[in-house]
Structure 1
Amino acid sequence: MRRAASLLALAGGAVLLSAATLTCVSVVLRWLTSQPVRGDFELVSLGSGLAVLGFLAWGTYRRANIIVDSFTTWLPARLADWVDAFWSLVWAAVTLLIAERMARGAMDTWASGTRTIGLLALPYWWAVAVGAFCFALTGLAALLVALRLARG
């Protein structure tokens, strides 16, 4: 899980850097030639969304997501771990539900031939499928975190 989550986060970082580079190139081209990179908005929006989803599993696995512990800091450490394990299970249930719904959405967008609205009119079933995979991996990471916390 650690390796899969870290590889997905690295891929998300690479996609985000690519989107940032594309934005810079498009701005420079627009400045020099009055013509941006064709479809830059579509590509950057898809890339940025996928990049963010790529970071979720790693953040969950490392417990690096935002945690509000102001109500549990006074609890004994073992009890606080159990509370955190419970909320990790809730996070796992939510992300796995989202993964399932996105997987169905990917199949629906593929079947209907839905495309982005813009110059490139890209099919985006594949992006929804990648998002489903990212949420599924995040759910599995949350289950492992919950197990780790419950064991102590």
Structure 2
Amino acid sequence: MSGGIARASRALALAGGAVLVAVAVLTLVSVLLRWLTSQPVRGDVELVSLGAGVAVFGFFAHGTFARANIIVDSVTTWLPRRANELLDAFWSLAWAATIALLAWRGAVGAKEALRDHSLTMGMLGVPIFWAVGFGALCFAVTALAALLWAGRLLRGRA
């Protein structure tokens, strides 16, 4: 499939991958500095934790759009193809509803984190509203991707 949701899911996955590469480089630099100077990058654990979470958010939509999530079909392999498509559509709708709820609550959380000036609890005290907001955006795109698949499966176009 193509379109805006496909482009958005790819862009978010690329952003997540870029953050993951940055986290890996930060980790490498911190370990080297610890080895050479006995002093790691200040706040490295805090930044790696934040970056890893942001990276994972970025991959949800693409995984859903590409149908690359784990699918257990050992119980339904004997069913006709159309029955499996309908079951997959049901679970895509369930996934869309669940992830849309997370997107909504994530958006509320980002707004509150911005209002309250919430910071990470480490030594750097990085504002967290942007990470929570990015997660909410990723969840929203994921829900749309799941809805697209549900519609496609319901129409028998898998």
TM-score between both structures, scaled by the size of structure 1: 0.98
Which residue is equivalent to 1:114?
Answer: 118
Aligned-residue sequence identity (percent) comes to: 62
Structure 1 position 78, deviation (Å): 0.7
The answer to whether residue 84 in structure 2 is matched with residue 68 in structure 1 is no
Structure 1 position 42, deviation (Å): 1.2
Structure 1 position 113, deviation (Å): 1.1
The answer to whether residue 101 in structure 2 is matched with residue 126 in structure 1 is no
Structure 1 position 7, deviation (Å): 1.1
Partner deviation per Cα, 1:70-98 (whole Å, 9 max, x = no partner) = 12111100110000000000000000000
3-state SS of paired residue (1:69) = coil
Which residue is equivalent to 1:40?
Answer: 44
Partner deviation per Cα, 1:19-47 (whole Å, 9 max, x = no partner) = 01100100000100111111111111111
In structure 2, distance between residues paired with 1:133 and 1:101: 11
Q: Structure 2: 5+ residue runs without aligned partners?
A: none
Aligned residues: 152
Structure 1 position 10, deviation (Å): 0.9
In structure 2, distance between residues paired with 1:62 and 1:143: 13
In structure 1, distance between residues paired with 2:21 and 2:40: 18
Which residue of 17, 22, 46 maps to 1:13?
Answer: 17
Letter of the 2:61 counterpart: A
Which residue is equivalent to 1:140?
Answer: 144
Which residue is equivalent to 2:107?
Answer: 103
CA RMSD in angstroms comes to 0.7
